Chain A
Amino acid sequence: MPILSYGYAVWAPIVWIVALVVIGIMVFIWRSRGQKGYKKETAQADVFLSGAKVPPAEERHVKADNIYWGFFESLKGLYSWMMKPHTGIVNDYLLWFVVVAAIAILIFLLAGL
């Protein structure tokens, strides 16, 4: 049996494969003993939300940025102001670049730098 020893750990692939197969068989047996009375196309397979009506899957999706809710809520004043110029259109960003560059050059010229 191929056994790789690092001195502080042992890596034996066959042992891992056998362990995974045994675990897989145990899971399969456990699963096959589950409730078979289910009617899959009925409400018996629906999501349970304390008896409340569950919205369709696309509407109940919780987005990753939901965890930032408190952050956005507390900085709403700043974000609502900053989101207006962030249109996502390259032309707008280039316009911003030109305007800011022109102002910067004007300041440099006036300051005599």
Chain B
Amino acid sequence: MNLKIFNRALWVYHMNTGSCNGCDIEILAVLTPRYDVERFGIRLVGSPRHADVLLVTGPVARSMEDSVRRVYAQVPDPKVVMAVGNCGIEGDVFHEAYSLVGPIDQIIPVDVYVPGCPPRPEAITYGVVMAWAKLEQLAKQAKQEVA
């Protein structure tokens, strides 16, 4: 992957919309010394206003719908949304639950899907790389529009 436009560290904001924490634990595993994606500048940040990627887990509980929309709106452009885990992608075992409004792409546009229950850290890392490539593409488009 040749990053020419979006060639800075990738900051990710992680949002849990009602996950069982399985995916969240795997996301933390990605940051541990075994996988250590921080060495590439990929790190979790505490505010969507600092983020390039919005990483969403969970099937989106009804009470989280507004928060998901609000947080998505607060991420500066160019932005990419990653849905991690089966719940966020298609509801998984909760797909008929009365308290859910998901999956995530029913609420906000999703660019990268990482399936699994939970997905392995390698899969999440691969998804982040895909997100980075998408950001490079979006940044390139934005630059061409300005020029």
Size category of the B interface is: 10 to 19
* B contacts with A: majority SS: helix
Which one, A19-27, A46-54, A78-86, is touching chain B? A46-54
Residues of A contacting B50 with CB < 8 Å? Answer: 35
Q: Is the CB of B49 within 8 A of A53?
A: no
Q: Is the CB of A37 within 8 A of B76?
A: yes
Verify if B62 is at the interface (C-beta below 8 Å from A): no
A49 to chain B, nearest CB (A): 9
Q: Is the CB of B66 within 8 A of A46?
A: no
A-B contacts, 22 listed (Cβ < 8 Å):
A37-B76, A37-B77, A37-B78, A39-B76, A39-B77, A43-B73, A44-B49, A44-B73, A44-B74, A44-B75, A46-B73, A48-B47, A48-B48, A48-B71, A48-B74, A51-B15, A51-B64, A51-B66, A51-B67, A51-B71, A52-B70, A53-B70
CB within 8 Å of A: which residues of B?
15, 47-50, 64, 66-68, 70-71, 73-78, 142
